[in-house]
Amino acid sequence: MSKYKEIKGFKVQTLASDTSPSVASTGTWASGGGLNTARRRILGSGIQTAAIAVAGYSTAASAEAEQYDGSSWSNITEINTQRDSGGMSGLAPYTATIYFGGGNSPAGNSVLSESWNGSSWSETHELNTARNIAAGMGASNTAALAAGGESPPVVAIVEKYDGSSWSEVGDLNTARAFAAGTGPNAASIVFGGEPPFLANAEQWNNTSWTAVPSLNSGRTGLGGSGATSTNALAFGGSSTPPGAAVALTESFDGTSWTEVADLGTASGSGVLGAGTSAESIAAGGYTTTNSALTFEWTTTPAATFTKINLGQVYYNSGSNAFKVTEQAIPTGTWASGTALNSGRNRAGSSSSSNSAALIFGGQNPPSSYLTVTEKYNGSAWTEVSDLNVGRTSGTGTGNSQDAGLYSAGYDGTQVANVEQWDGASWTAKNAMNQARSEFAAGGGTSTSSIIAGGFGPPKLTNSESWDGTNWTEVSELNTARNGMGGAGSSNTNALVYGGDVYPTSPRFSNAVEKWNGTSWTEVSELNTGRLDVGGGGLSSTQAIAFGGATTPNSENETETWNGTSWTEQSELVTAMRYCANTSNGSTMSAIQSGGSSSGPSQNETTVQEWTVPDANKTITVS
């Protein structure tokens, strides 16, 4: 019989419902009162229970204005000049906003601005650049931003209004029109737009624009709301196929965009957006015709709201079940990330996750061998100290953006050069015994790793182990090949997979070999054989393989390894070959950067981020 003092226990939290990823994930859209006039390209400001809808297009450009009281719309004083596709300070109170720019055929694009005081519209100071479908932001009719738009052409010009005049400030990084924006003057965000169907987003700090993580779905003519640049909603819009309205809603927390509850009806071509990320309003736009629909967004976290916490164990009293929060790999997805500053293929990288990565070297065709190094924090790439020797097709190892190793490569001929990154600069280290290139694959850290295979020429089976100081030849691979992916934690724990075995047929290898510190052993094969495969993982029992090529095709397949078998997962957003990396975080958080979507003459700035979200799972006992 157990003694009382030997019985151990722990407290388990009791919750009426499952934990949630965020407050935004509790949000829902509900139908509100319809506009009096159905229209698209409509602008608005205010809050969910006190909003204004201005201008737009019904059968022609409109001067109509309507006011919402939380249940119904009523007509109010019209603007002085009818037009559509203008911009508006959307965060402003519905009694103190400004409408600017826009278009009216045949008059063309406008520089006019009109200020609303709650009862009448007054023409005020003109824009410097006439344009339509600009993104509007700002907190009042004396503090507004006009960003981008179509002049034509599509422009990156940004103007700031202070109540006395419009003045040009820092341009957007990406010229865009028909985008959405929200936030006050000093902390705004612009996202989406055209041409065509942009996903990227930019944040304003009152001085300049900085790229931040992209929407999961590129679109134009969408609505936006939110009190700040780090707390925003994007909803509706038009996406592929061209003109197709979407209902998708995404929430931004300053770090990433997350898909939340859809609009009740898909709507695009200029949806009104106003309010905060907790209480917003969407109205008008275009479904299969001009829309009068209104939807109200409300987040309703329970008084006992608990944010999801990886590893948390709790009892759900509503479903009478014990739950645990975990990361289930099959739920992982790829999303577009912030583009590199320098396009390149066949670069090296070192990363711990999709928000902490380093990319270095590579090629900018047709013959430029790069020294450029860039560091990623999850929202922006920053150029840091260059490599000492520019080269392509080497191997990057290291599971940290502050400690990496770039080994061998090609600068017109195969080389054996090795450089180590300490977080600030590159230092030359002892060279490898065998010069090689073309994705000699390996795994590990900057002080303990293994390199295997590659192209000498010929194709190699040769393997070398790195102890932080010297390279030592060790047991050879079973199959000579180049263009592999790799994973691993050290020079005693690694995995290599895929590759090119030409002239052996089939050329595209699905072979996988595991290293235990002494020898390579063949284990279960990839589902899809390919060369130039990207990959990563923290050990020989946890790996991810993505992209690559089955000439002449680029591939978008993703597979994960659990130590026993490979399982197909969600595909890359963009099929990619000549992948830029061999050390890309874990099966939970990985990154693909650079590469090529067609052939070696391309040099992409494309970045794609793999994320496995936390999820609630019922604990079962068998």
| Contact yes or no for 203/252 (Cβ under 8 A) | no
First CA to last CA distance, the chain: 25
Do domains 24-298 and 330-618 share one topology? The answer is yes
Q: Whose CA is closest to 406, among 380, 388, 382? A: 388
Which of 484, 487, 399, 488 is CA-nearest to residue 446?
A: 399
As given in the structure block, the two tokens for residue 499 are 């590759």
Given the DSSP bridges, would you call strands 97-100 and 87-88 parallel, antiparallel or unpaired?
Answer: antiparallel
C-alpha 236/C-alpha 319 separation (Å) is: 34
DSSP 221: S
Please work out, in degrees rounded to the nearest 5, the angle formed at the alpha carbon of residue 337 by the alpha carbons of 332 and 342: 140
Confidence of residue 133 (pLDDT cuts 50, 70, 90): very high
Instruction: Measure the CA–CA gap between 340 and 609, rounded to whole angstroms.
Output: 13
Cα(3)–Cα(520) distance, rounded to whole angstroms? 51
The CA distance from 349 to 500, in Å, is 21
**What is the rounded distance in angstroms from the CA atom of residue 326 to the CA atom of residue 312?**
8
Mean pLDDT of 98-105: 90
Question: Per residue in 265-320, pLDDT tens?
Answer: 999 999 999 999 889 999 999 999 999 999 999 998 877 788 888 888 999 988 89
Across residues 11-22, what is the average pLDDT?
Answer: 85
Is residue 487 pLDDT above 80, yes or no? yes
Cis peptide bond upstream of 503, omega within 30: yes
Q: Which long-range contacts (CB under 8 A, 24 or more apart) does 385-388 make?
A: 385/424, 385/425, 385/426, 386/426, 387/360, 387/361, 387/419, 387/426, 388/419, 388/426, 388/428
Tokens standing for residue 533: 């495969």
Question: Which residues are CB-neighbours of 490 under 8 A, at least 6 positions away?
Answer: 444, 445, 448, 449
The whole-angstrom separation of Cα 447 and Cα 251 is 40
Q: What is the pLDDT of residue 5?
A: 55
What is the β-pairing status of strands 542-546 and 558-561? antiparallel
pTM above 0.95, yes or no: no
Give the mean pLDDT of 33-55. 95
pLDDT at 581 over 60: no
Cβ proximity of 466 and 440 under 8 Å:
no
Block residue for tokens 């400690």: 403
Q: Is the pLDDT of residue 580 over 70?
A: no
Q: 582-603: b or e for each residue (b if 16 or more CB lie within 10 Å)?
A: bbbbbbbbbbbbbbbbeeeebb
pLDDT (mean) for 38-53: 95
Answer yes or no: is pLDDT of 2 > 80: no
**Topology annotation, domain 24-298:** Neuraminidase (2.120.10)
Query: Which residues have CB under 8 Å from 142's CB, separation 6+?
Result: 96, 98, 161, 162, 163
Take residue 589 and report the two structure tokens written for it: 């958080």
Do the beta carbons of residue 126 and residue 167 sit within 8 Å? no
* Mean predicted confidence (pLDDT) in 59-65: 94
Q: C-alpha angle with apex 609: 608 to 611, nearest 5 degrees?
A: 150
pLDDT band of 584, cuts 50, 70, 90: low
Q: Which residue has the tokens 């003459």?
A: 601
* pLDDT of 121 above 60: yes
**Chain-wide mean pLDDT for the chain?**
91
Q: Picking from 22-31, 88-97, 512-521, 598-607, which range would have the lowest pLDDT averaged per residue? A: 598-607
- Residue 267's φ and ψ, nearest 5 degrees, are -150, 140
* 585's tokens: 């975080």
Q: Cα(262)–Cα(282) distance, rounded to whole angstroms?
A: 12
Supply the DSSP symbol for 4: G
C-alpha–C-alpha distance, residues 441 and 542, integer Å: 16
Give the length of the chain.
622
Query: What does the pLDDT read at residue 443?
Result: 76
Amino acid symbol at 164: S
How far is it, in rounded angstroms, from Cα 66 to Cα 292?
A: 12
Q: What is the pLDDT of residue 91?
A: 86
Across 419-444, average pLDDT: 90
C-alpha–C-alpha distance, residues 138 and 141, integer Å: 8
Q: What is the SS3 assignment for 5? A: helix
Q: What CATH superfamily is the domain 330-618?
A: Kelch-type beta propeller (2.120.10.80)
Please tell me the predicted confidence (pLDDT) of residue 69: 96
Q: Write down the residue that tokens 């293929």 correspond to.
A: 345
Q: What is the DSSP string of 101-165?
A: --EETTTEE---EEEE-SS-EEEEPPPSS--BS-EEEEEETTEEEEE--BSSSB---EEEE-SS-
- pLDDT of residue 483 exceeding 80: yes
d(CA 337, CA 594): 11
**Strand 13-15 and strand 313-316: pairing?**
parallel
Binning pLDDT at 50, 70 and 90, where does residue 583 land? low
Alpha carbon distance 538, 519 (integer Å): 19
* Pairing verdict, β 158-161 and 143-147: antiparallel
Distance CA 46, CA 203 (A): 21
Residues 216 and 234 sit within 8 Å (Cβ to Cβ):
no
Mean pLDDT of 565-593: 83
Q: How far is CA 66 from the centre of its chain?
A: 36
**Amino acid letter, residue 602:** Q
Average of pLDDT values for 339-354?
90
**pLDDT tens digits for 355-383?**
889 999 998 876 689 999 999 988 789 99
User: Which residues is 414 bridged to in the sheet?
Assistant: 410
* Residue 11 confidence class, pLDDT cut points 50, 70, 90: confident
Percentage of residues in the chain with pLDDT exceeding 90? Answer: 68
Region 180-197: mean pLDDT is 93
Quickly list DSSP for 522-540: EEPPPSS--BS-EEEEEET
Q: Count of CB atoms within 10 A of residue 262's CB?
A: 15
Give the helix/strand (H/E) hosting 544.
strand 542-546
| pLDDT tens per residue across span 68-96 | 999 999 999 999 999 999 999 988 898 99
Tokens of 293: 């629909």
How far CA 101 is from CA of 63, 191, 379, in Å, comes to 13, 19, 31
Per residue in 499-558, pLDDT tens? Answer: 999 999 999 999 999 999 999 999 999 999 999 898 888 889 999 999 998 877 888 999
Partner residues linked to 617 by β-bridges: 324
Domain map of the chain by residue range? 4-18+306-327, 24-298, 330-618
